[in-house]
A = this chain, B = another copy of it.
Amino acid sequence: MLKFPSGFIIGFSESGFQFEMGYPGFEDPNTDWWIWVHDQDNIMSGLVSGHLPENGPGYLALYKKDHDIAERLGADTLRIGIEWSRVFPRPTREIPVNIDKDEEGVIVSIDISEAAINQLREKADKNQVEKYKGLLKDWVSRGKKLIINLNHFTLPSWIHEPIQVRTRGVESAPSGWLSDETVVEFAKYAYYIVSELEEYADAWSTLNEPNAVATAGYLNTKSGFPPGIPSFEYTIRALRNQAIAHARAYDLIKQVTKKPVGIIYNFMWFEPLNPVNSEDVKAASTASYMYNYAFTDTLIHGESLLAASESLRRKLDWIGVNYYTRMVVAGEKKGPGWRYIPGYGFICTPGGVSKADRPCSEFGWEIYPEGLENILVELFNKYRIPLIVTENGIADSMDKHRSSYLITHLASTLKAVEKGVDVRGYLHWSLIDNYEWAMGFNMRFGLVKVDFDTKKRFLRPSALLFREISLRREIPEELFFM
């Protein structure tokens, strides 16, 4: 039996782009991702699914209903995302701020004047802000907790236009996180939105999975993320700029609120193919540093391979851990020093079985709960700051594996707690089916199925299990059926 510690939060994570749309009048066409998934060349080339986000679950219209379900299932906390593009559909770059850069090009400080704040307020789309307030109020008025994340993948199209980037080159089009400008504009947006929504949130996060944005956009281009230009240099630049953006947003947010400000990050657990082969062990360690720790080291120690600046130090009050599976790596003389081994972790046959004889999701992701416990322990031993599991779930339309996935990963979380790790909660990805980026509606992560034609919700059996666990605030022994 694994009991929830006192104060342990339980609930769901959601983002903007993937959940909000679904009803006429709720579309947001002002993002890089909107352009990207509507681009006929992308659709014809198979880079994206051809499914469209405006046919999504419609959370922005149906939030009362979804909050009802979340409450029935015993959730006490939601993590939701605000869309920058809804708040500022037009450029904010003419609103002046004072910027300092060091000799390495790191923006070390941003000052916003009162006048600038007023300009931001005027520029913001009040209508959209009110919609968000309505949604947030509905949840917190139920006595529930809320974490607000400021950016989840999508960028306003005035700051990132991926099709132009592709045809004209990165230097001739708004290039998103490749550009310094994005750092500054994000800080303005962050400052403004925290000012507006401060009362609703229990904790803040600036960015969701900056490493996924960088690697899927600039390295693993088969994933179908914008702008799909393979470049190790761009990958690093995008990571670095997001780290700086976080630091500057952190500073500004802290002028408004004392609540904890953190980041939500994608962690993978790296394992050597052969644990007694020193090349493989080293490869796993290198890969883990690059993927998991270069970014967080930057914002904790102010120093990493991405950047070194006192201005980046101690900028995380908490870390949100998004965990799905592991990666198995072997040493490799060429390239970055490692290679991924297909048949494990993220690189398995959809609906098949991994080389370790474990079932794999419809996304082809191996079920590997040990990795979550391991990464929580490792992370806490490194940084000693509070952690929250902010995403964890499985693409499983028929709910074949979700119950065992849920139990074993929640158990991993609670076992980490038992070992002294300061994990404050577990937010499942996700309450309802949603728009899974380039895969569209092909990947179903919901405890609750959505019929995207009728917008009806249906409880998958794992939702009953979630309820049983969240209401009892433990995983009773009798539920370990695996």
Contact = CB atoms under 8 A, between A and B. Distances in A.
Interface residues of A, number: 52
Contacts of A482: 398
11 contacts: A39-B230, A40-B335, A41-B230, A45-B221, A168-B169, A168-B171, A398-B482, A399-B403, A403-B461, A461-B464, A464-B465
Q: Which of A41, A171, A229, A398 gathers the greatest number of chain B CB atoms within 10 Å?
A: A41
A140 to B, nearest CB: 25
A462 interface: yes
A321 to B, nearest CB: 25
A287 to B, nearest CB: 12
A468 B72 CA distance: 13
Interface in A72-95: none
Contacts of A464: 461, 464-465, 468
Interface in A1-42: 39-42
Interface stretch (A117-125, A148-156, A452-460): A452-460
Interface of A: 39-47, 50, 166-172, 219-222, 229-232, 334-336, 359, 398-401, 403-404, 449, 456-462, 464-465, 468, 477-482
B468 A481 contact: no
Contact of A45 (B43, B45, B230, B478): B230
Nearest to A406: B461
Contact of A232 (B44, B401, B479): B44
Q: Which of A359, A457, A464 gathers the greatest number of chain B CB atoms within 10 Å?
A: A464
Nearest to A48: B230
A166 B458 CA distance: 45
A42 to B, nearest CB: 6
A3 to B, nearest CB: 18
A188 B479 CA distance: 45
A465 B458 contact: no
A478 B463 CA distance: 11
A41 B477 CA distance: 40
Given A46-B220, A167-B231, 6 more contacts: A42-B230, A46-B222, A398-B482, A400-B400, A400-B401, A460-B481
Contact of A47 (B222, B403, B458): B222
A41 B461 CA distance: 44
A436 B42 CA distance: 25
Contacts of A459: 478-479, 481
B222 A222 contact: yes
A460 B47 CA distance: 38
A455 to B, nearest CB: 13
Given A44-B335, A230-B44, A481-B449, A167 B169 contact: yes
A221 B224 CA distance: 11
Nearest to A230: B45
A465 B461 contact: yes
A219 B45 contact: yes
Contacts of A398: 359, 400-401, 404, 482
